[in-house]
Structure 1
C-alpha cells in the first residue's frame, strides 16, 4: 500500500493525524482539475464549477449522512468554526461549554470571540485516565449552568486521540435547548459517521485527513433551521446574487470568486479509492495495530494508558504519555536522528507522543519508533522513566 502514496520513503511516517497523506490516483485527479482550470479559467469558474461542485457533494452527502444542500466545502475546520462563531449572537456572560481536550486553533478561535463579545469559553476538565464513557459525560456536564448557551466538542481529540461520546452529549444538549457545534476533524474515513443520526446543529470534518483527499478539503454542515442565520466568512458574489440558486445558504458560502477548489472536486475519486481498496478493512487492521502496541509503548516509557485499550476510545491513533521537560527537543531528535515523523504534544501540563497508523504503515514502522525511544532513554535525559 505504501507504493500508492507519495510519502518520502526515507521517513518513518507516523503522523497521518496532522495533515493526512494523499494517494497517487487521488493526487493525479487533483492535478487534472488544476490543469483543466488553467486551460480555460473563465469557462471553468463561471460554467463548470457549479456543476462540478454538485457532482462532488452528492457522494460525500451519502458518505457522511446528511442532505446535499446542508453543507458546503471549506479549506479546514478552523475556517468552518470561524464561520459559525462570527454568526452567533451571544451576549456578555453567555457561556460556551467545551473540554480541556480541544484543538489549539479552536481554543484560540473561541478566546478571540469571547474577548470581542464578553462571552465565556469554559474548558471543562475531563480527567485522565478515562475509565468509562459515563465518566466523560458526567464530568462534562458539571460545567453546565444557567448561562450555558452553546456546547462545543471534538468527536476525536487531537492531542489525546480520544473518541468522545458525542451522540449522548448532543442528545442531552438538544433537550436543554443548547446550540451544539461538533468538531469532527478526525472523523470522516476514520470512524463511522452519520451526521443526521448524531443530530448536531453544526458539524465540521476534514476530507484531507483520514479520507486521503488533497490538503485543504473540509466541510461545514449546518442544520436547516440555522442556515439563514449563518453569514459568509467572506462576502462575495453569492451574496444578493444576480442569479440566485434554490438555496441562499449555498449561494452565500459556495461562490467566493477566484480560487482553486480542485481539492474539493476530487471527492468522488476519493470515495471511489476508499471503496476500491476496501478501506473499511484497512482501517480495521490499522486500529488493531494501534491497540496491540499501546500498552507496549507505555511500558517502555514508564507511564500508563490514558484510557481503556479498546475501540470505544481509540481509533487509528493513540497518545502515549511521556515524562519529558523538552517535548520540542524530543520531537526534533526523533526526526533529525531517527527519521521518524511523529508529534510530541503538550496538553494540560502533560506531554504525549501520538502515533497514527494508516494503510501505508506496518508493524515495522512502530518497531522503528520503539527502538528509537529505547535508544533515547538509554543515551539521553530527554525521557524520564
Structure 2
C-alpha cells in the first residue's frame, strides 16, 4: 500500500491504529463534506430541516442502493447497525415458544437485544456452536440446520462476525429459511465496503449494515434494508412526525411522500443527519482511489500477518482463508490476561488493537486498512512476541 494513503486520514501519527473494525476512520475529504453539511444546517436550520430534508435524505438512499444492489425504497438511513436491527427485531410478531436460531459468534449488543425481546414476548433464543476451525460452507450450513425446529421463526446471523472476524456463507441458509417460512435477519455491521455486497442476491428479509466502518463515512451513518414484502410489519422505535395511520400496503404513501417504511424511520424529530448525507462523498472517495484494489492489498497484508502470528505462537487459526473477513482477522494468542496485554500495547507501544477473551480463547483482532503498512505489522508482532514471551524478549506476567 502507498504511504500516501495515510495522509488522507485524520488519525494521530503517534498511534499505530489497528482497530478500524470497531468504529472505522473517516478520510479527510469525507470529513470535510460532513462538516460542510453541519455548517449548512446551522446557517439556516428551518430551511435545512423543514424545507429540504426529505429531498436531501433521498440522495444517499439512491446512491447507496445502487452500490448495494437494491431498490432505493427498500433502504433507509439509521445511525448504526444496532439501531437498524433493533427497529426490525422489535417489530417482529413473536409469541411464547417461538425460537430465534443464532450462533455463538454474535455481537454482544444484539445478544442483549434478543434477550430483551424474548423477555417481552416469551420467545427463546437457540444458540448453535459453530465448529472451529471453519473450513467448509456445507459444514457451517449443517451446523445451523441442526438447530432448526418447527418452532423456529427467525434465523439471525452475522455476515461478518465481530469477535471472530469470520465471513459466514449465509446465502444458502437464507434461501432455505424463506422456503420454511422463517424470517432471516442479518447483522451486516462489518460488511458494507468490506466485501462487495448485493442485497437483492443475498435475499435476506432484513439486513442492517454500517457505512461508518469499512465504507469510511462519518460515525452515525448506517442503513436498514427490508425486503418490500416484509416492510409492512416494520414499526419505528420512535414515533414522531414520520408516523402515519394510513395503510402500509405496497404503494401506500407516508407522511412525507415516501413509503410509510421510509418516512416513519427517517423522520423522528430533530437530529443532525449530516453523517448520512455524506455517504455519497464516501463512495466517491472510494471510487477516486480505487478502494477495492486497496482492499485487496489490505487483505494480503492481513493474511500474511495472520500467518506470521500463527508461526510465532504455534496456535491454529479459527478458519481457512476463504472464511476470514478480508481486512479483519482474529488471531489466537497464548493464554494471558487480555486486558493487561491490550492496555500495555497502547501504553508502551502506542498500538491500538482489541485484545480480549472469547469463549476459551485469547484473541487479538487485527484490522488492516489503506493507511496501515507492513512496518506496523512488524511492530505489532514484535510487541506481542515480547509481551507474551514468545521467544522475542521476556515480557509481562501472564495470567
TM-score by length of 2: 0.93
CA 243–152 in structure 1, closer or farther in 2 if over 3 Å, else same: closer
Selected match of 2:285 from 267, 273, 298: 273
Aligned to 1:38: 42
- State the secondary structure of the residue aligned to 1:220: strand
What are the Cα deviations for residues 44-70 of structure 1, in whole angstroms up to 9, with x where unaligned?
001121111111211100011110001
Indicate whether 1:299 and 2:314 are aligned: no
Aligned to 2:195: 191
Selected match of 1:314 from 325, 333, 346: 325
Alignment gaps of 5+ in structure 1: none
Selected match of 1:250 from 243, 262, 268: 262
- Post-superposition offset of 1:299: 2.1
State the alpha-carbon separation in 1 of the partners of residues 342 and 114 from structure 2. Answer: 28
Contact 1:323 1:383 in 2 (8 A): no
Indicate whether 1:105 and 2:109 are aligned: yes
- Post-superposition offset of 1:380: 3.0
Indicate whether 1:357 and 2:361 are aligned: no
Aligned to 2:10: 6
State the alpha-carbon separation in 1 of the partners of residues 97 and 147 from structure 2. Answer: 14
- Post-superposition offset of 1:383: 5.2
- Post-superposition offset of 1:379: 2.4
Aligned to 2:143: 139
Contact 1:99 1:126 in 2 (8 A): yes
Contact 1:234 1:256 in 2 (8 A): yes
Contact 1:137 1:169 in 2 (8 A): yes
What are the Cα deviations for residues 141-184 of structure 1, in whole angstroms up to 9, with x where unaligned?
11111111100000000111000011111111111111000011
Aligned to 1:48: 52
State the alpha-carbon separation in 2 of the partners of residues 25 and 54 from structure 1. Answer: 22
Indicate whether 1:324 and 2:335 are aligned: yes
- Post-superposition offset of 1:311: 3.7
State the alpha-carbon separation in 1 of the partners of residues 324 and 138 from structure 2. Answer: 12
Contact 1:80 1:220 in 2 (8 A): yes
- State the secondary structure of the residue aligned to 2:62: helix
Contact 2:171 2:202 in 1 (8 A): yes
- State the secondary structure of the residue aligned to 2:73: helix
Q: How many pairs align? A: 383
State the alpha-carbon separation in 1 of the partners of residues 368 and 256 from structure 2. Answer: 45
* Superposed CA RMSD: 1.4
TM-score by length of 1: 0.97
Selected match of 1:167 from 144, 164, 171: 171
State the alpha-carbon separation in 2 of the partners of residues 260 and 77 from structure 1. Answer: 17
- State the secondary structure of the residue aligned to 2:46: helix
- State the secondary structure of the residue aligned to 1:69: coil
Contact 1:330 1:382 in 2 (8 A): no
Q: How does 1:57-206 map to 2 (within 5 A)?
A: 57-206=61-210
Indicate whether 1:21 and 2:30 are aligned: no
- Post-superposition offset of 1:225: 1.2
Contact 1:287 1:311 in 2 (8 A): no
Contact 1:238 1:252 in 2 (8 A): yes
